[in-house]
Copies of this chain bind each other. A is one copy, B any other.
Amino acid sequence: MGSPSTATRVSARRHRIAPEPETRYDRRLAEILAHATEVFCKKGYEGASMRDLSRESGMSLAGLYYYFESKERLLYLIQRHTFSTIVERLKARLQGVDDAEDRIRIFILNHLEYFLANQSAMKVLSHEDEVLKNGFGAEVAAIKREYYRICVGLLDDLKRERGLQSSTRIAVLSLFGMMNWIYTWHKPRVDADPESIAGQMADLFLRGVMAGGKIRKER
């Protein structure tokens, strides 16, 4: 009968004990999300039609609605999954690392590695930022705020450790700009590997934040 894509979905989860945490439904949904991500990346959220998504994923137009109840919720699912994954990985990587500078380098590396390994998804996340309305938008915005706060915390730690006093807000937002803008220019053929780019951006940012005193050439 009706589609199960509303809120919680119970019946499709077979009562397995361990070996297969993924149901058929979850796998199929993930496939659709992956294809939809590519289309949204290429044509933009508004520019991509449900018929484009149907063609790309090989499923009929109506068939898609068995997996989600609206185009907007589809975008929400993509954004939430992408964003929570990157936050989750970051937290794991920061475990056990104490040095403030190292932690910022890890932040940058994690962000860029994930960005470049999942360029389409991250472009959809960055570029289709304001399209989700009230409910959906608020939840993604909350994850974004958490991610932002983590970065602010890392930089504040560094500033405390080294006695720096520049504006955290401007510095952090500049860093996000550097990193997120990469989707507009990165070309795998011409640009170096993620580690290298992350290293260069980290150098640029950390020197910029830490280099003290006057910069202007004395005359």
Contact = CB atoms under 8 A, between A and B. Distances in A.
A117 interface: no
Interface string A186-215: 000001000001001101111111110001
A88 to B, nearest CB: 23
A42 B143 CA distance: 23
B181 A177 contact: yes
B215 A203 contact: yes
Contacts of A171: 200, 204
A204 B205 contact: yes
Interface residues of A, number: 40
A217 B44 contact: no
A180 to B, nearest CB: 6
Most buried by B among A101, A209, A211: A211
A119 to B, nearest CB: 14
Contacts of A206: 208, 215
A200 B44 contact: no
B46 A201 contact: no
A49 to B, nearest CB: 10
Contacts of A204: 166, 170-171, 174, 205, 208-209
A200 B170 contact: yes
Interface string A41-72: 00010110000000000000000000000000
